[in-house]
Structures are given as structure tokens and as C-alpha cells.
Amino acid sequence: MGKTTQLRTYTVRDGLLDEWVDRWTREIVPLRLAMGFEIGGAWVDRDRNQFLWFISYEGPESFADRNAAYWASPAREAMNLDPDDYLLRTEERTVEEKY
């Protein structure tokens, strides 16, 4: 399958932005990378209390199938990390790289 990239924008609960970034960096990123995803960067918009990042996957499975495998993995479950504890809203957009 071809490469699929998503821009993800998360609106984080007040007071939890730095904690979310820390957990994302320490727990989510290593597992995503181990499962074949690429992280294209991450940014914080403090004025909007938002966290934005790019995630890509190019492999034999579809992005959706590989993402489902990530969520179903024992390593993901062992994180004991419920995004709803941190995130008020999530937006995922599939985008195409042009430059």
C-alpha cells in the first residue's frame, strides 16, 4: 500500500498539556515507531491548548489496519493511558505531501 499521512490535532484539557506531551513522547512515540509508523514532528499551540502532530504509515497493511493493531496491542494496553483523560477533542485529517 502507499504511504498514508495524518495530521492530528488534539485539544488538551486545561493544565494537562505538558503532562500529555511527556507521556506521548515517552510512551506513545516508541510504540508507534516499533509498530512501523513514522512521526513527522509534533508541535504545541499553547494559546489554543492544542497538540499537533504528523503520523505516517507505509507498509503491507492499510493505515487503518495498522492503527487498529496498535490499539489492540498488549503494549498499548499496558500503558494504562486513556486519551479521554487528557483530550477534549481530536481531529484527524489524511493529507498528501506536496513539498
In this structure, the strands spanning 50-57 and 4-12 are: antiparallel
pLDDT tens digits, 8-54: 999 999 999 999 999 999 999 999 999 999 999 999 999 999 999 99
The pLDDT score that the predictor gives to residue 79 is: 96
Q: Which residue has the cell 512521526?
A: 39
Q: What is the pLDDT of residue 1?
A: 73
Residue 53 phi, psi (nearest 5): -155, 160
Q: How far apart are CA 63 and CA 60, in angstroms?
A: 9
Instruction: Show the cell assigned to 73.
Output: 496491542
Q: Are 60 and 54 spatial neighbours (Cβ–Cβ below 8 Å)?
A: no
pTM (predicted TM-score): 0.93
**The C-alpha cell that represents 47 in the structure block:** 494559546
